[in-house]
Structure formats: structure tokens, C-alpha cells
Amino acid sequence: MSLLVVGLSHRSAPVSVLERAALAPEGRGKLLQDVVSAEPATEAAVLSTCNRIELYADVDKFHAGVAELSTLLARHGGAGLEELTPYLYVHYEDRAVHHLFSVACGLDSMVVGEGQILGQIKDALAVAQEQHTAGRLLNDLFQQALRVGKRAHSETGIDKAGQSLVTFGLEQLAGGPDVADWARGKRALVIGAGSMSSLAATTLVRSGVGELAVANRTPARAQRLVQILTEPGGPGAATGLTARAVAMDAVAAELARAEIVVSCTGAAGLLLTGEQIAAALAGRTDRMWLLDLAMPRDIDAAVHRIDGARLVDIESLADASAAAPGEPAVSAGPVAADVDAVRAIVAEEVAAFGAAQRAAHITPTVVALRTMAADVVSSEIARLEGRLPALDDKQRAEITQTVRRVVDKLLHAPTVRVKQLASEPGGAGYADALRELFDLDPQTVAAVSRADRHDAAQERA
């Protein structure tokens, strides 16, 4: 089996295509089940964020796997296969590992170095585990990706240089890095109470907004976010922030007062239309700044054309991040040395992961070989007992121990060496050679592999 990733992101596709291909949160589980039900795949995980949709799978056939994963991405999203195909990228085996590790470090993010992707990778693994579609390979891969991302942020300056998409978006609204001067005293409305919306609300509060309303389809989540922001020790406690949770049907009324609006929900359609924003601005002399971090979008793109409104959405952020290739976006860019250091970490970790996986691949064959040797010893000892019935218990034990010691010594050097060789690039063939040389039963080896996967599943449970 081999690792395959098929996906599209802000680097490969226009935002309009990403928007149509976006997955609803509740649809990810069904997608994963369909992937593992397909013939080429035995494991699957989906990484779906506001600027990428990627399917990871353990497949036994490359071309069939690419075709199946591409078809399922199209079927579960809102874009047709013919529309998606020109924008899909494919990574296989070590290149797939390298891609995920780079993503985890923020090297493939819209804003290089941002750390929020780590939480999204963690969520992707959690969903796959809940759906029982993550086996040993994908569990190892995603857990290692999280460790690599954390290592990159702790060992290099990319953590200080990188920033979240929320901060980048607010900087775009503010027209520069000084978000606090721009936001101070303003009235803000945040729609949604998920991780991105919560981060936006926290950032705005720390930047000094005077008033905050949080709207969410689940009122308790909005109320909880407000409580966290205003409780003693919270970011709004020292500023005397006025904050409240509101129902979604109160959003129209809140728009009439809001100066800053941030929206990031999982809604399938538009939450705010151009007509609603125009109505909210009617008779007002102040401006309205809107940040839409949802995919698909929450706020009608027509708002770009409304006087008095300034909208920044995923498409705007993609344009801003690509405005000067090779140059940092706004104030977010890490120095080249930090990027090079992170790339070196990724390369090192990819090599280590590959070596560990190749070594693990040969383990069932080694176990099967030692099991066969033990069976031969047991058979020969039984045969000897039949020929020499006069042996006492002490003699029998001594002979048995001697024979086992001889077998262990004969097998020790070749099994240790074959594990070392298997961990090197191109070492996967040593397992086949071992099976051929010792005429090992493939079913016995497969049984060991199944037992390993069962033990891993029990550990996860």
C-alpha cells in the first residue's frame, strides 16, 4: 500500500473553484466512508480549510486511486469533475509526506508561517479517527505532521514571522499592520463561534474594539465565547468591553450599528447579501469594514461595489498574498533564513518518516520468519523425543535451549541487517526477497500485518 494525496488549494485553483468544491463539515464523514469503500483505498483522511481541500489515502493502485479520489472530491463538493481536474494536484509516497509536512509548517499557507493550520490538521485526524478511516499509516503520518509543525515553530523564527489568516485579513481591512489604531473604539459584529470566528473576536477585543456582538446558530456557543472574552482575566476584562451574544435573526439589526463585521461559518449559502449591507449603510455617514473568512463565502461579493463598504474575502486575501511573488505579504513575511531552516526540517523529517515506514513494512515478514523457525524447532524437538524417549526433563530442556539458541544466533544478524537495509530508499524489496528465500507463506505474513493493524486500532480505541 502507498500514500496518495489528491487536492486543490489557493495555489492551484481560483477561489471561485475552491468555493464550489468546498465540503460542508457534516459531509466529511460520508466522504471518508466512500473513500475506504472504494477498491483502491484502505485508509482516508480529509484536510478541508478555507483555502484547501485535500484527500489523503493509503492505496494499492496509483492510477485507480487518483481517479477514484478525484471523482469523490467532485461528487461530494459542488464542482464537477471536468471543472476540478485542471486544478487538482497529486502527490505520491514521499512527495505526499513532504507536502503534508510543508503544510503543517505553514510553508504552503496563504500567509507563510501561520500556525492555525496545525489545529486544522489535528481536526482532520480526529474526524478520520471518529470515522475509523485512519489506520496505522495515516495516524502515524498526521501525528508526525503535527510534531514537525510544532518543531518548525519552536526551532525557527517562522513562528514570530508568520501570522494567522485572521490577522492578515484584519491588516488588509486596516490598510496596514497597525490593527489596534484602526479598530480601537469601533463596534464589531462577529458571525460564527468556531475556531476562526473565535480567533477573530479575540483579536478584535485585544485591538480595543469598544463593543462586540457575537451571533451563532447555536446561541450557547456564542454566549460561551462572550463569557470567555469578558470574564476576569479575559482579554476584554481590562478594557471595559461591552459584549453580548445575539441570535442569528438579530444580525440584520446588528448590521445597522456595526462598523466591523467578521463572518466565518459553515453555511452553504450567503448569510449577508448586497441588499442587506446597502440597507444597513443607508443614512449612515460612517463606513463598514467586512471580513469574510468562510469557504464558501458568507458575504455577497456584490458588497465590493457598495459605497461606504470595504470587503475583504478569501479571494482578496489570495490576491494580496500573491501580489508580490517572493516578497512578504504586509508585515507577515518570515526572513528567507527562517524559511530555509523550516525546509531543512521538513526534508529531515520526511527522510526519517520514510525510513521508519520502510522498516515497519518488513517487520511482519521478520516476525513470520521467526515464527516459522520456532515451529521448526518445536517439530524437531518433538521428533527427537520420539526417538529418544529415555531423555529426562533436564536433558530435554538443555537440548531444546541449545537448538533454540543456535536458530536465534543464525537469524539474528540477517534479520537485523534486513531491517537496516529496508529503512533505506528502495529497501521495500527486501521483504519480498526474504519471503522468497525462506519460502514464507504470504498468508502468514498477511496475518501478522492484520494483527498489527488490529492492535493499532485497539490502542486508538
Contact 352, 425 (CB under 8 A): no
pLDDT at site 1: 60
DSSP for 269-337, written as a single string: S-SB-HHHHHHHHTT--S-EEEEE--SS-SB-GGGGGSTTEEEE-HHHHHHHHTSSTTS-STT-PPPHH
pLDDT at site 328: 41
Cα three-residue angle 104-105-109, rounded to 5 degrees: 80
pLDDT at site 447: 65
Amino acid at the residue 69: L
Strands (E), 33-147: 41-49, 52-59, 89-92
Listed in sequence order, the residues at least 6 apart from 309 whose beta carbon sits closer than 8 Å to its beta carbon are 277, 281, 287, 288, 289, 290, 303
Contact 57, 91 (CB under 8 A): no
Q: Of residues 5, 22, 50, 209, which has the active-site annotation?
A: 50
Domain ranges of the chain: 2-162, 165-321, 362-416+425-445
pLDDT of the chain, 461 residues: tens digit per residue? 689 999 999 999 998 899 889 988 888 999 999 999 988 899 999 999 888 999 999 999 999 999 999 999 999 988 899 999 999 999 999 999 999 999 999 999 888 888 889 999 999 999 999 999 999 899 999 999 999 999 999 999 887 766 788 999 999 999 988 999 999 999 999 999 988 899 999 999 999 999 999 999 999 999 999 999 999 888 888 778 899 999 999 999 999 999 999 999 988 889 999 999 999 999 898 999 999 999 889 999 999 999 999 999 999 988 887 654 444 443 344 467 888 999 999 999 999 998 888 777 777 777 888 888 888 888 888 888 888 888 888 988 899 899 889 988 888 887 777 777 776 666 667 777 777 877 877 776 666 555 554 454 444 44
Class assignment of domain 2-162? alpha beta
Cα three-residue angle 100-106-108, rounded to 5 degrees: 65
Listed in sequence order, the residues at least 6 apart from 30 whose beta carbon sits closer than 8 Å to its beta carbon are 76
Class assignment of domain 165-321? alpha beta
pLDDT at site 448: 59
Exposure of 379 by Cβ count < 10 A (0-12 exposed, 13-18 middle, 19+ buried)?
A: exposed
50 is catalytic: yes
pLDDT at site 436: 80
DSSP, res 194: S
- What's the CA gap between 138 and 47, in Å, rounded? 12
Placement of cell 493499532 in the chain: 456
